[in-house]
Structure 1
Amino acid sequence: MKKTLIATTLLGFLSLPALAADYVIDTKGAHASINFKIKHLGYSWLTGRFNTFDGTFSYDKANPGAAKVVVNIDTASIDSNHAERDKHIRSDDFLDVNQFPKAKFVSTNITDNGDGTLVVAGDLTLHGVTKSVTIDAYKIGEGEDPWGGYRAGFSGTTQLTLADFNINGPATIDLDLHIEGIKQ
């Protein structure tokens, strides 16, 4: 009876679904970035990044579709490599960072395409407006790091229509996202 109880209990634990691991996005080690490019007057690309952001994600390689992602962005940290332009982008002509100091992305659904790519759907709140967006993503890799931790990395792209967020300016902005997380 005792062996049967132990065996039944052990089988019960083994049949439980794997739990997703929780990760913190590694912004301190500069192993993550949120980059953008936007057409400048229709003649060239203006590129830049957001220097200050944080976030978390959960991930289970046996069930990628169960992942969750939350990213918080300090909109005042926009950096287009030109101080005067950045001041203008931060103004109420565009981002209005005094009124809307944060942007936030919260995933609502993640689809595993079965080929290493993912479609990450979620709600992006930017400039006081929340809209559903999708990010085409892929897993770069995961494993132990040299410091005794465990990491997972992903990359993704999306395009936003600025008018959807009540932001003046060029029609669209392309985001290029690189996220590396440290398992907690």
Structure 2
Amino acid sequence: MLKKTALATLIAAASAMPLAQAQAADYKIDTEGQHAFIQFKISHLGYSYILGNFKSFDGGFSYDPESPDDSSVNVTVDLDSLETNHAERNKHILSGDFLNAGEFPQATFQSTSFDVDDDGEEAEMTGDLTIHGVTKPVTFEVDHIGGGDDPWGGYRQGFEASTTLDLADFDIDMSQFPEPMHSVELYIVLEGIRQ
């Protein structure tokens, strides 16, 4: 009788495990509704700035508010979708002088860790960023914007993240330009719909 009770307890515990883990949910990034953005800012000769964005990207993230350290994200960006509101400049940035999008048409990011502060609202997300055929670890500062039901019967979570990249780390040669142009700021907003 004791053995049967122990076995029943083990089975019950094993059955409960998936329920405990089921809090984590997968979210598809809402690019269709234009509620997600990948934007960049880079100095222009130290006198002004060039602002731009990538209009075509896709991906998703996993998030559990009860265990946010287990969160993860993956994003793929189509570099040809770059827009700086100047057609010739777009072509130049995409050329072999910079991004070389003909040979390396996509940039990707896959997170490897997510470290959250005590109140669960701010975090550092580290992952592997691939640009220009080079993969490097990059850390983003992340803020949780919010989450909840939407008016269409879905459930959403939203985050914003930022980082600064040294372009030389990705074999993009900026040595002919002034030092302020050697790095680029990234600002990202990801709103996801729970699947």
Residue of structure 2 aligned with 1:171, choices 170, 178, 182: 182
8 Å contact 1:18–1:62 — kept in the other structure? no
State the partner residue of 2:12.
Answer: 9
- Structure 2 residue 133 is matched with structure 1 residue 124: no
Deviation at residue 13 of structure 1 after TM alignment:
1.8
State the partner residue of 1:154.
Answer: 159
Greater helix share, structure number: 2
Cα deviations by residue, 1:77-96 (Å, 9 ceiling, x for unpaired): 11111111001111100111
- Structure 2 residue 70 is matched with structure 1 residue 59: no
SS in 1 for 2:89: helix
Deviation at residue 161 of structure 1 after TM alignment:
0.4
State the partner residue of 1:142.
Answer: 147
SS in 1 for 2:20: coil
- 4+ residue runs of structure 1 moved beyond 6 angstroms? none
Q: How many residue pairs get matched?
A: 181
State the partner residue of 1:91.
Answer: 95
**Structure 2 segments unaligned to the other structure (5+ residues):** 175-180
Distance 2:143 2:189 in 1: 10
State the partner residue of 2:178.
Answer: none
Q: Structure 2 vs 1, CA of residues 44 and 168 (structure 1 numbering), >3 Å: closer, same or farther?
A: same
Same amino acid, percent of matched pairs: 50
State the partner residue of 1:41.
Answer: 45
**RMSD, aligned α-carbons:** 1.9
SS in 2 for 1:137: strand
SS in 1 for 2:75: strand
**Structure 1 segments unaligned to the other structure (5+ residues):** none
Cα deviations by residue, 1:1-24 (Å, 9 ceiling, x for unpaired): 9xx859x83896278344310000
